Amino acid sequence: MTTTDYIDLNFRGSPRVIATAVVAATDGIVLIDPGPTSCLATLEAGLRDRGYTLRDVRSLLLTHIHLDHAGAAGTIVERVPGVRVHVHERGAPHMIAPEKLLASATRLHGDQMETLWGAFLPVPADRIVVLQGGERIDVASHSFRVAYTPGHAKHHVSYLDEQSGMAYVGDTGGVRVSGDYLIAPTPPPDIDVETWRASLDAIDAWQPVSLFLTHFGPVTPARAHLARFRQTLTSAADAVKASMAAGGTDEEKVRRFVEQMRRDVRQALPEHEAKAAELAAPFEQLWQGLARYWQKRNNQ
């Protein structure tokens, strides 16, 4: 008998920002998106509350390698002999040698890197299980289907637990802190709206019962959420395109976009959840990623 649970990593002291899924089976547990090392103590406390420790972890399934999803993987591997890290083939080299990944993240986060994410240790190559998408993997006496689901990131995959009907979709299914308010997480550099829509189609073709969003938690019914998020993604892309055509500098365009996002989220959510939404999907980065997407489109 397999059960699914999740741990709120309480990122930056805020609930409902980052969730790590815990899939328990007879011979150990699987963690899906273990989060950043800055939250590792919270992850360990959550495991203890459930009667586990890190040494019960058999595998880490990474939807993608962004620091809020995968930052703790190397530290966990260092502490727990035998843990295997499943990751897409385009992300695997950056888990083994993370210098380029960290340089890219530093361009976004600057001197906040250590505070936000903590250490990002490399994962030895012999602990990596490379995925392409389309395979079925068996971990902790349990089977998952894998789909390649880029759009948010070129190395993004999603996992379907066929037994429960839960699809673990990372950021491909968007951000939903609470209620029905959705955000399209569109940080640079990989955003591709057309590819993202195809990834939503691939997840929908699984006909999942529920989705698990790293930001934040399970969503049912799955297919209704996917349909609503498709519109959210389109609306976000259109809004940034319109803002780019407006007058002013890029800094002014970003400021107007962020101010509008903050007004919108506070109309939908109470203040503490609005702050959680911006922690999960920093609004300035949403504009930057979609602006880069449109600029690339215009240059083709």
pLDDT band per the 50, 70, 90 thresholds, residue 300: low
Using the structure block, give the residue that is written with the tokens 């259109």.
238
Please report how the helices 271-280 and 250-268 are oriented relative to each other, as an axis angle in degrees rounded to 10. 140
pLDDT above 70 (res 199): yes
Q: What is the pTM of this model?
A: 0.95
pLDDT above 80 (res 280): yes
Residues 184 and 176: their CA atoms lie apart, in Å, by 9
Sorted by where each begins, the domain ranges of the chain are: 3-299
Mean pLDDT of the chain: 94
Edge-to-edge strands of the sheet including 217-219?
136-139, 142-148, 157-161, 166-170, 210-213, 217-219
Using the structure block, give the residue that is written with the tokens 């250490």.
119
256-275: per-residue pLDDT in tens?
999 999 999 999 999 999 99
Structure token digits, residue 33: 């998106």
Pairs from 293-300 (Cβ < 8 Å, separation ≥ 24): 293/186, 293/191, 293/192, 293/193, 293/237, 294/237, 294/240, 294/241, 294/244
In this structure, the strands spanning 217-219 and 210-213 are antiparallel
In three state form, how does the secondary structure of 15-83 look?
A: CCCCEEEEEEECCEEEEECCCCHHHHHHHHHHHHHCCCCHHHEEEEECCCCCHHHHCCHHHHHHHCCCC
Cβ neighbors of 112 (< 8 A, separation 6 or more) are: none
In this structure, the strands spanning 136-139 and 217-219 are unpaired
Cα torsion 299, 200, 268, 235: sign? positive
What pLDDT shows up at residue 92? 97
Question: What class is the 3-299 domain?
Answer: alpha beta
Region 63-90: mean pLDDT is: 97
Structure token digits, residue 178: 């609470």
158-187: per-residue pLDDT in tens?
999 988 999 999 999 999 998 899 999 999
Cβ neighbors of 93 (< 8 A, separation 6 or more) are: none
Query: Helix, strand, or coil here: 90?
Result: coil
Alpha carbon 197 to its chain centroid, in Å, reads 16
In terms of C-beta density within 10 A (0-12 exposed, 13-18 middle, 19 or more buried), how is residue 26 classed? Answer: exposed
H helices of 210-270, in order, are 222-245, 250-268
